[in-house]
Amino acid sequence: MSKQILILPGDGIGPEIMAEAVKVLELTNDKFQLGFELSHDVIGGAAIDKHGVPLADETLARAKAADAVLLGAVGGPKWDKLERDIRPERGLLKIRSALGLFANLRPAILYPQLAEASTLKPEVVAGLDILIVRELTGGIYFGQPRETRVLENGERQAFDTLPYSESEIRRIARVGFDMARVRGKKLCSVDKANVLASSQLWREVVEEVAKDYPDVELSHMYVDNAAMQLVRAPKQFDVVVTDNMFGDILSDEASMLTGSIGMLPSASLDANNKGMYEPCHGSAPDIAGQGIANPLATILSVSMMLRYSFSQSDAADAIERAVSVVLDQGLRTGDIYSEGTTKVGTVGMGDAVVAALRNL
Ligand code: IPM
Ligand code: MG
């Protein structure tokens, strides 16, 4: 039976980078006879323009029915003034939550060809290979109550709530340990247990889960220290497991170690490895429409999709090799450009990956 893949390009640079990723996906589909059927829909600002909401019910139904979802990015200044509940980002949070995609895998890998593109010294980042496992459907992003209100003295006040239940912590901790087990066997759990009740429970539950993984070395780190250690000595980390908001922040930080957030893919998985795949970066409205965005994060998200949702590791490897070939050829989008390399645009980069993949 054919596998259904739903493509949601989103806003800003989303459609541009997605067009390149789809070229790569279609070629991979032919070359490895994967039998994928692609369909397209809208999310975020594009959905607000079309349906008045950032994620229409019919789009969510199609995402639920699909075997995997490939997403570009959402948001932009056009929709920034809207109320929080109908902003483009709400569509993204809703699809993550409704599909139960609690495990967000964000690898930060430094391609050796890009050591010069990092703002850190090459010896600090050479060979870097970190995996951030971010809890994605709980914590402060979804906690209730959340409110903006006017106090009796007339002053406005706003608050959010940061809840974590034992079961939510346990299942994401297991993903962290499972990933560490097949990598470098080191897991660092990041929290703020010196201040937050939710983090104290987080630490306790992670300790309990650790009993099932005696082969994995567990450490704990406060998030402020982790932010510092990531730029001081990032290679001390193998797998990092952390909550939704800390993971949001630390994954942006980790991405810059690799030279550009434009290189980093992500996978968001449910309990059965059904997933949504998207670049870690946003919709970059400042460069949208200029044809200069880096499509590699989205192309590498296709590779993650083949690996995690479809167990097609040969096809996934081929895409990653093709990306490596293109970097060897010295082709760079602006975000990873350094002297002596050749600057290309979004389409140029996509075409080069397609050509490299065809020639493998
Ligand atoms: C991310 C993004 C999203 C998040 C935004 C767009 C809601 O920053 O995927 O990291 O905060 O999760
Ligand atoms: Mg983010």
Model pLDDT for residues 280-305, shown as the tens digit of each residue:
999 999 999 999 999 999 999 999 99
Local structure of residue 248 (DSSP, 8 states): H
Q: Among this protein's residues, is 141 annotated catalytic? A: yes
Name the β-bridge partners of 150.
156
Q: Which CATH superfamily is domain 110-269 in?
A: Isopropylmalate Dehydrogenase (3.40.718.10)
User: Confidence class of residue 52 from pLDDT cuts 50, 70 and 90?
Assistant: very high
| Residue 248 Cβ contacting ligand 1 at under 6 Å | yes
- Under CATH, which number does the domain 1-102+283-360 receive? 3.40.718.10
In the three-class reduction of DSSP (H, G, I as helix; E, B as strand; rest coil), residue 69 is classed as strand
* CA-CA-CA-CA dihedral for 182, 246, 105, 62, to nearest 10: 150
Please report the pLDDT score of residue 92 as a whole number: 96
Round the average pLDDT of the chain to a whole number and report it.
96
- Residue of 49, 212, 224, 328 with catalytic role: 224
Please report the pLDDT score of residue 115 as a whole number: 84
- Mean pLDDT to the nearest integer, 315-333: 97
Distance (angstroms) between ligand 2 centre and the Cα of 193 equals 22
10 Å Cβ neighbour count for 10? 28
User: Confidence class of residue 85 from pLDDT cuts 50, 70 and 90?
Assistant: confident
329 conformational bin, left if phi > 0, alpha if psi -120 to 50, beta if neither? alpha
For residues 68 and 343, give the distance between their C-alpha atoms in angstroms, rounded to a whole number: 33
Ligand 1: which of 55, 89, 136 to mutate, judged by most atoms within 8 Å of the beta carbon?
89
Please report the pLDDT score of residue 3 as a whole number: 96
| Residue 89 Cβ contacting ligand 1 at under 6 Å | yes
| Residue 253 Cβ contacting ligand 1 at under 6 Å | no
Residue span(s) of the chain under CATH 3.40.718.10 come to 1-102+283-360, 110-269
- Mean pLDDT to the nearest integer, 172-192: 98
- Geometric angle at alpha carbon 157, from 156 and 162, rounded to 5°: 160
| Residue 292 Cβ contacting ligand 1 at under 6 Å | no
- Mean pLDDT to the nearest integer, 2-12: 97
**pLDDT(306) > 90:** yes
Please report the pLDDT score of residue 118 as a whole number: 86
The number of the ligand 1 atom at minimal distance from the alpha carbon of 104 is: 9
Tokens (6 digits) for 137 = 């459907």
> Is residue 198 a contact partner of residue 139, using CB atoms and an 8 Å limit?
yes
Please report the pLDDT score of residue 116 as a whole number: 82
